[in-house]
């Protein structure tokens, strides 16, 4: 009986594998930090930005998946081959995405090291382990998994970790008993007239409607060996991914609003995150929070350390072998670069939000090409985008330009 149940469970997870994989990629330390900061500073008043981002995420995931299913090619290769000036555009996307992911990796490692240092202090009655030592341990452990692991192993690990991490936040969400009327009010678009608010909205967009997610989406769908007969499955998978992002991110924002915001305390330092689980009380709250964010970090780190070799393979139109020298070398290099956070004079949450803001500015560059590709009859045949898909992608493009403009205005 147990074997049958296990087989059925993995069959269901396999049907929506890319969606769950991208939840693990998106709902990580960056999402937790950004949504918690939004909730701590503005309550649920920015909930509209999260909802819009998740809707646009669904639209682009479907579009990117559809082009890959029909063409049989991944995104950067399609851009390089089928768009005028596509090669420099694909190179620009490749380089900016790698820079964005390295910045995110630095933020993730610094936040995780701070939290694990606090966890060690609580367990060891005041013992202090340096964040450099903790970061080194994480890098060695993750590289070992990268060196010996397989893609399917990564996917299964991510699935379990995402479920455990999400459960931790859902429990606290119900414990704080949020005011649902405030959430409804948050659906009305409103931009606070305060310094940094534009940047925070952009970070929310960057961590949800992330440019890298759509390019990776194409790669993951290709790795699943799906074709046009799987179009309905691809759309369902995209919906599962976007909807779960909305639920989990909304829970995190609500937890921030119900704890830090009520206490009139902003999220400035890593250990402020522990206050999110204060309703549970005592050391247990700290351990649950540390476990949840560490899980979220690991679920995000795996795809990040693979992003460079994935994108290079995508650009070249080559197969993705996680055991190849290129994957191991570039993955290891990405992990080593995460040490950079130890030498940056910026608080980990601020560094994390900056990296997500950078991601939002890349959104127009990955939206325009898919609008061109999905309407290219020589690629798509009779599967070109319909009216509503074109309207949806055009709105995402407009949203991306507005978000980028807001970031520039905020920094200036």
SS (H, E, C) 334-379: HHHHHHHHHHCCCCHHHHHHHHHHHHHHHHHHHHHHHHHHCCCHHH
Burial class (CB in 10 A: 0-12, 13-18, 19+), 47: buried
Terminal CA-to-CA distance of the chain, rounded, Å? 63
Residue 238: what pLDDT? Answer: 84
Per DSSP, the residues of 176-200 read H---HHHHHHTTS----SSTTHHHH
Say which range, 48-52, 153-157, 259-263, 387-391, has the weakest mean pLDDT. 153-157
Orientation of helix 86-123 relative to helix 325-337, angle to 10°: 60
Q: Which residue has the higher pLDDT, 375 or 132?
A: 375
Is residue 73's pLDDT more than 90? no
How does residue 311 score in pLDDT terms, banded at 50, 70 and 90? confident
Distance in angstroms (rounded) separating the CA atoms of residues 190 and 180: 18
**Percentage of the chain modeled with pLDDT above 90:** 9
Distance in angstroms (rounded) separating the CA atoms of residues 221 and 68: 7
Is residue 310's pLDDT more than 60? yes
101: CB partners within 8 A, 6+ apart: 212, 304, 307, 308, 334
Distance in angstroms (rounded) separating the CA atoms of residues 187 and 52: 9
**Are 376 and 59 within 8 A, CB to CB?**
no
pLDDT digit string, tens, across residues 339-368: 777 777 777 777 778 888 887 888 898 899
pLDDT digit string, tens, across residues 152-169: 565 566 566 666 667 777
pLDDT digit string, tens, across residues 207-237: 888 887 888 777 777 777 777 888 888 888 8
Is residue 198's pLDDT more than 80? yes
pLDDT digit string, tens, across residues 92-101: 988 888 888 8
Say which range, 1-15, 53-67, 246-260, 278-292, has the weakest mean pLDDT. 1-15
**Are 19 and 238 within 8 A, CB to CB?**
yes
Residue 282: what pLDDT? Answer: 66
Distance in angstroms (rounded) separating the CA atoms of residues 104 and 354: 8
How does residue 15 score in pLDDT terms, banded at 50, 70 and 90? very low
Residue 11: what pLDDT? Answer: 44
HSE-up (13 A, CA, CB side) for residue 53: 31
Is residue 314's pLDDT more than 70? yes
Give the C-alpha distances (Å, rounded to integers) separating 229 from 70, 222, 306: 9, 13, 28
Number of neighbours of residue 12 by Cβ within 10 angstroms: 10
pLDDT digit string, tens, across residues 100-158: 888 888 888 888 888 888 888 878 777 888 888 888 888 888 888 777 765 456 556 65
Distance in angstroms (rounded) separating the CA atoms of residues 269 and 261: 15
Say which range, 125-139, 190-204, 262-276, has the weakest mean pLDDT. 262-276
Which value, in Å, is the radius of gyration of the alpha carbons in the chain?
20
Distance in angstroms (rounded) separating the CA atoms of residues 249 and 217: 19
What predicted TM-score, i.e. pTM, was given to this entire model? 0.82
What the block records as the tokens of 137 is 């341990």
Number of neighbours of residue 104 by Cβ within 10 angstroms: 29
Rounded to 5°, the CA angle 380-385-391 comes to 155
Mean pLDDT of all residues belonging to the chain: 80
- Structure letter (DSSP) for residue 259: I
């Amino acid at each position: 009986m147990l074997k049958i149940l296990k087989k059925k469970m993995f069959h269901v997870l396999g049907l929506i594998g890319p969606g769950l994989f991208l939840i693990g990629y998106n709902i990580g330390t960056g999402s937790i930090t950004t949504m918690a900061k939004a909730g701590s500073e503005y309550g649920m008043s920015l909930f509209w930005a999260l909802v819009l981002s998740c809707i646009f995420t669904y639209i682009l995931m479907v579009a990117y998946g559809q082009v890959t299913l029909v063409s049989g090619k991944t995104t950067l290769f399609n851009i390089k081959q089928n768009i005028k000036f596509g090669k420099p555009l694909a190179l620009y996307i490749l380089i900016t995405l790698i820079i964005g992911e390295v910045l995110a990796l630095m933020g993730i490692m610094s936040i995780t090291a701070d939290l694990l240092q606090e966890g060690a202090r609580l367990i060891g009655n005041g013992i202090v382990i340096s964040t450099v030592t903790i970061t080194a341990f994480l890098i060695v452990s993750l590289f070992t998994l990268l060196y010996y692991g397989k893609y399917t192993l990564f996917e299964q690990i991510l699935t379990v970790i995402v479920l455990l991490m999400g459960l931790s936040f859902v429990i606290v969400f119900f414990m704080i008993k949020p005011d649902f009327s405030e959430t409804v009010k948050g659906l009305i678009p409103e931009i606070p007239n305060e310094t940094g608010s534009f940047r925070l909205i952009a970070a929310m967009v960057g961590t949800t409607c992330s440019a890298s997610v759509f390019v990776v989406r194409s790669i993951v769908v290709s790795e699943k060996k799906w074709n046009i007969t799987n179009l309905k499955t691809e759309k369902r998978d995209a919906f599962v991914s976007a909807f779960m992002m909305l639920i989990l991110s909304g829970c995190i924002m609500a937890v921030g609003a119900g704890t830090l915001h009520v206490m009139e305390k902003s999220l400035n330092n890593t250990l402020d995150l522990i206050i999110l689980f204060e309703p549970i009380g005592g050391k247990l709250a700290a351990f649950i929070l540390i476990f949840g964010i560490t899980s979220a970090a690991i679920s995000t780190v795996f795809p990040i350390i693979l992003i460079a070799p994935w994108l290079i393979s995508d650009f070249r139109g080559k197969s993705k072998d996680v055991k190849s020298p290129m994957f191991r070398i570039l993955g290891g290099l990405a992990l080593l670069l995460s040490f950079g956070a130890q030498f940056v004079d910026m608080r980990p949450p601020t560094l994390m939000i900056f990296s997500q803001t950078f991601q939002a500015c890349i959104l127009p560059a990955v939206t325009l090409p898919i609008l061109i590709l999905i309407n290219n009859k020589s690629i798509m045949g009779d599967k070109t985008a319909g009216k509503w898909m074109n309207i949806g992608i055009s709105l995402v493009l407009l949203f991306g330009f507005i978000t980028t403009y807001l970031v520039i205005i905020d920094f200036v």
